[in-house]
Amino acid sequence: MSATYHPRPRVLMGLPPHRHAVIEASAGTGKTYTLEHLVIELLLSTDVTLDQILVVTFTEKAAAELRLRLRRKLSDILHTEPGPPPEDPAEAWRVDAAAQQKLARALLSFDAASISTIHAFCHRMLAENAFDNHRLFKEELVDGKAAFTKAFFTVLRTSLAREEKYAAFLEAWLDEQPLEDLVSLLFDAHTKRGVVQPVLHLDRLAGALQNALKLPLNPNVLRPALVKARVGHMQLQAVLKRVTVLRQHLERYHKDGRLPALLAGLSREEEGLPEGLLGYLEDRLTKLIQTRGVLENVRDGVRALRAALVPLGSAVVQVFLPIIQRELARQKAAKGQLDFDDMLALLRDSLARPGGRGILESLRARYRFALIDEFQDTDEVQWEIFRRVFLDRGARGRLFVIGDPKQAIYGFRGADVKTYLAARSHIEGLGGSVIHLTLNYRSSPGLIDAVNLILRQKKTRPFFTGEIRYEHPVRPGDRTQGHLTERGEPLSPVVLFDVKPKKSQLAGSAARRTLAWRISKEIRRLLDPEEAVRLRTPGSLKALAPDDIFVLTRSTREGLEVGRALRRAGVPYAFYKQDGLFQTREAQDIRAVLAAIAEPGHKSRRIHAWRSPFFAAPLEALATASDLPATHPFMERLLAWKELAEAKDYDRLFVRIVEDSGIIERELFLEDSERELTNYLHIFEILQEEASRSKGNLQELLYTLTAFVEQRRLPEGEDGNVQRLESERDAVQIMTMHKAKGLEAPVVFLFGGFDEARSSSHTYHAEGQRCLWVGAGAPPEAGVEALEEDQRLLYVALTRAKARLYLPFFGRQEEGAADEAPQCVFRNLSGTYRQLNEQLEDVVARKDEAEVAPLFTVEAVPEQPFLRELTLPEVTERLPRWRPPARLLVAPGPKAEAAAVRRRHLGRVVTSYSRIKAEKGGYTPPDAGPLAPAGAEEVVREVSSLAPQAQAREDLPGGTASGRFLHEVLEQIPFDLVADAPDAATLAARPDVRALFLGGLRKYDRDPVHLERSVALIYGALRTPLRLGPVALPTGLAGADRAVPEMEFLFPVAGEGFVKGFVDLVFEHGGKTFLLDWKSDLLPSYAPAAVDAHVAENYALQAELYTLALLKVLGIHDEPAYEARFGGAVYVFVRGMADQPDGATGLYFARPSWHDVLRSEATLQHTPLAQGGAS
């Protein structure tokens, strides 16, 4: 068997298998591509087998994608055709017979490959070594928060509410905040695993309080000293006010001795008073002290008290969390349970304990290489596991970690980028390589240049300010990446919306309102087919679809705001993986109804149910609805539902709730979107799954629902609490910047992040350890690390776009106050976006320079007024003028009524040409015999017999498989290759063309002997000179000005639904746009008359439908536009055209009149759609 050659990425040349390595990527540089090729490199360059390579990824989805890609890569290499070696041997793998056997064995045993998430890997290791670890052989995986919450309530009952040392802290907390917030705070501290700060030292605090009680905090004593220090009146009053407040709290503590209440009161004052309480006093008194005296004594006492005090939240965590964690461990051990965090911690502890040497050595013997993906999101536990197995003394394997530290944005989940930096340094210290991926395959060259300009590290005020920097700027990996054009002219890759206030400065609400308005207006323009904005990619020019556009926000609230603006503009939108399904109003509504069903006699529960949309009782009627008789429709419905609940017939119960309540009709008619309805149905679906699993009664199901609502438990699955997309239609995707990681889109808008995000805790590092500051007054280190994570989050947002990026910009006022620089027009721009806005100031200052001008467009956007909603009187005034459509006023007969009922229950129908055709009788074969078309639209039987003349002429069999093969090749083959080839034989001689055809023949089970004939068919179809009305193509379709294969359409039919499908080819030539459908039908004759008759019999409806769809896409709505821009419909019968390439044989061309188009459209609108969905 001769050797084959397969392209080898150049980055692998810097990754010798005998050294550890850190691979640092940037956005769009092919991290997963590098990972899959690294596995192949190890298989081909060493004696390692696939099962000796450990590959760890971040999510189940990423693991599944990598498995799929690696399996496909192995298969592709094994099916590579022999060819000449490359000029540089390092640029290709030489796969000889031995290598092929090895890869074949790897593919055969692929299911045994260790490619999984870190949690799955740890769980597997714990299960395999359960005996050595003194663990049960089978343990139950539980939700971490649910287990923690259960332990909390156990401790609450047994200790916190009963023992005096805990009860005082609990009482102080409940005086300020609800119990749910306490659970959330404790769980947050439990999962982040930092040393809680500031540390509570009770002895030190007691001493500071005793000293503070002796301070002269009497305003009458301090006033003379302050006056003597020449304090201004305003400052004098501020100091005395705070002294009085402090004195009141200390006197209350001296009286009742309740330390937690004092901590709560002082915490409240620190957050409520401008500039705080103790910090303000210490700072001001320090500046006022001139000689030793009363002010210095007070200052020193305040300083000591401030150093010893801790916020109530921090104290509660330090007092409560240890006892809860002990109870949590006890409960898990007793029940044989573990959560995801336990999997990692238990394996780490097993490897570290003296008796764990056997497990460690078994792992070292089992895995010779480890490839860790998304390593920037590691933490100390994960790093310790891999360090012990692959790096510590006695380790024999090699460790490759890959990630992009600039995208380390999950600190709030416990990820620790400082651990990544320490790991990188450790690997380097062991002689490991550090490789940087710098070729960007995602974005256009212009967009790459523009983003590099923003992120440039070598400037006075760089974007990245910490240890993680942008020191290896990316370069275009593919210079043909698409860009936006307008009327043929390229558009700048970045647009800055420069918001201009009406007065001197903008409030936050005005900035968001203005940007949301401008974004919605711009998106509507981009999607308007008459605006001629197109996405140009090699060989195609396509209009933008809604799902080509992302809007990225910092928070969910900002997403809702921009969503409202898009709705007003008539732009379809959807929220991508929006969290908090069970924290929505819809979950509360369902809980209210189920609670009333569980206890129909409970007055309060009934009232809550009547208020929900499932009953929609008017507010004014609730006063008389508290005691309804059992015969009232509301009560009858409730009692009927209770019968189903008592029978545990939850399937029927949930269906009846939806149907009896009319919730679907009300939501569709009264709400602006299907968001709420989708949530109702999604929640019922999850509850049904829970009921099937638990077999519990309604009260138990209600308890589960309440746990979901209060976030004490999460539904099963990675996306259990994520709101489902409300529609399958194409829509602009709104998502948070965090959710956007790993995604890309041609066009991206940034919106939000203008206000500082509030948090009850902050992680940071001090003296080499991870710390968790709880409460106000976090140290500067915490602010610095939060600032750096914001930089990384903005980097993620900046690097999602492929073609164009839209950014808000807030300039400076034209004039500043005396001796001050002009202020930003956005008043108090304090959030994440502030750092990016500062970089954009430099860009705008240089906007006319040659380096900047082609890359950035700066557009002034005037502040927009507040858009008020219609008032109730205005709605009431307009409502009488509304009239329903005329067809709704016609009284239907019994049959029509039954049909209408069926249609209503079916909902919107999405059908296809194929299904409509089948309803009308299907395909009619030609008279010569049982010949059937092999086009992609019809699913027909393989041809069983052929007419003698056709059989003699054809050596490519007829039938569905051959037709699909030809269609696929016509979709994939580059037209310029065909245009450059003088004949079919020359085209067939190209290795890439042969590979394309042979791959298709194998895929559709066609004999490779048909290769030459297949190339001849395709060449004839694309190179036969054509005349289509006034438009001539002397070199055939391959010479068309523009061509788009497989254009998808969704054609609306009024009152019915949609027809969806694909046009094989849309091409433009001579200023006219044509639609084309490839046909591989075997016909007795391909003469023009025979072809015309065959099309009229079988494809007339298709031609009409596709013509209407293309006109919609092109935005052609009147006769002048139709005459100027539409060329016609073309059907190419490839078998006939290849045998007699005269430009007439095998060709059908028609261009209906504008009158015929209107008639076709009217006919289609009254054609009942085939029921049953899309085919």
Assign domain 18-138+337-438 to a CATH class.
Answer: alpha beta
- DSSP for 157-176 reads IIIITTSHHHHHHHHHHHHH
* pLDDT interval class at 617 (50, 70, 90): confident
- DSSP for 557-591 reads HHHHHHHHHHHHTT--EEETTEE-GGGSHHHHHHH
* pLDDT interval class at 892 (50, 70, 90): low
Strand boundaries in 351-414, DSSP class E: 369-372, 398-403
Cα-based distances in Å from 2 to 5, 80, 989, 1007 = 10, 11, 20, 22
Alpha carbons 476 and 490: distance in angstroms, whole number: 18
Give tens-digit pLDDT for 255-265: 998 999 999 99
Nearest to 32 by CA among 797, 719, 742, 744: 742
Looking at residue 947, what is its pLDDT? 30
Residues 6+ away with beta carbon under 8 Å from 257:
none
Alpha carbons 569 and 520: distance in angstroms, whole number: 6
Residue with tokens 């969390």: 321
* pLDDT interval class at 942 (50, 70, 90): very low
Pick the CATH number of 447-570+750-759+783-862 from 1.20.59.10, 3.30.390.50, 3.40.50.300, 3.40.50.460: 3.40.50.300
Residues 6+ away with beta carbon under 8 Å from 802:
442, 443, 444, 447, 481, 482, 744, 745, 746
Residues 6+ away with beta carbon under 8 Å from 641:
597, 653, 656, 657, 660
- Mean pLDDT in residue range 1077-1086: 88
- How many CA atoms are closer than 13 Å to the CA of 369, on its beta-carbon side? 29
Higher per-residue confidence, 1097 vs 522: 522
**Report for 631-635, 879-883, 1146-1150: range of highest mean pLDDT:** 1146-1150
Q: What are phi and psi of 569, to 5 degrees?
A: -85, 0
Q: Tell me if 494 sits within 8 A of 749, measured CB to CB.
A: no
Q: Tell me the sheet residues that pair with 4.
A: 95
Q: Tell me if 234 sits within 8 A of 241, measured CB to CB.
A: no
Residue with tokens 């005396």: 818
User: H helices then E strands: how many in the chain?
Assistant: 45, 36
Alpha carbons 337 and 478: distance in angstroms, whole number: 50
Residues 6+ away with beta carbon under 8 Å from 608:
592, 595, 596
Give tens-digit pLDDT for 109-136: 998 899 999 999 999 998 888 877 777 7
Nearest to 698 by CA among 734, 649, 626, 749: 649
Assign domain 912-1165 to a CATH class.
Answer: alpha beta
* Residue 694, both tokens: 């638990």
Q: What are phi and psi of 811, to 5 degrees?
A: -80, -165
Least confident of 45-54, 442-451, 765-774: 765-774
Helices (H), 93-178: 97-108, 118-128, 144-155, 164-176
Q: Would you give the end-to-end CA distance of the chain in angstroms?
A: 45
Number of neighbouring beta carbons within 10 Å of residue 444: 26
Looking at residue 536, what is its pLDDT? 87
Alpha carbons 841 and 820: distance in angstroms, whole number: 17
- The one-letter amino acid code at 944 reads S
Helices (H), 715-832: 737-740, 780-798
Q: Is 560 exposed, middle or buried (0-12, 13-18, 19+ CB in 10 A)?
A: middle
* pLDDT interval class at 952 (50, 70, 90): very low
Alpha carbons 843 and 697: distance in angstroms, whole number: 63
Whether the predicted pLDDT of 621 surpasses 80 = no
- The one-letter amino acid code at 362 reads S
Looking at residue 570, what is its pLDDT? 86
Looking at residue 128, what is its pLDDT? 87
CA dihedral 966, 967, 971, 974 (to 10 degrees): 20
- Taking all residues of the chain, what is their mean pLDDT, rounded to a whole number? 86
The 3-class SS string of 512-536 reads HHHHHHHHHHHHHHHHCHHHCEEEE
Number of neighbouring beta carbons within 10 Å of residue 1144: 17
Give tens-digit pLDDT for 70-82: 999 999 999 888 8
Nearest to 1137 by CA among 996, 1001, 1036, 1028: 1036
Residue with tokens 């651990």: 419
- Tell me the three state secondary structure of residue 4: strand
Give tens-digit pLDDT for 1040-1065: 999 999 888 877 664 456 777 889 99
* Residue 687, both tokens: 């509850």
Alpha carbons 1048 and 542: distance in angstroms, whole number: 11
Q: Tell me if 48 sits within 8 A of 102, measured CB to CB.
A: no
Name the architecture of domain 578-723. Orthogonal Bundle (1.10)
Looking at residue 909, what is its pLDDT? 52
Give tens-digit pLDDT for 440-480: 999 999 999 999 999 999 888 999 999 999 999 999 998 88
Residue with tokens 């060709």: 1147
- Tell me the three state secondary structure of residue 371: strand
Nearest to 3 by CA among 139, 94, 136: 94
Whether the predicted pLDDT of 1172 surpasses 60 = no
Q: Which helix (H) or strand (E) holds 917?
A: helix 913-919
Nearest to 504 by CA among 62, 929, 824, 58: 824
Looking at residue 926, what is its pLDDT? 58
Q: Tell me if 203 sits within 8 A of 325, measured CB to CB.
A: no
Whether the predicted pLDDT of 940 surpasses 50 = no
- Tell me the three state secondary structure of residue 452: helix
Nearest to 523 by CA among 710, 694, 283, 746: 746
Alpha carbons 413 and 741: distance in angstroms, whole number: 15
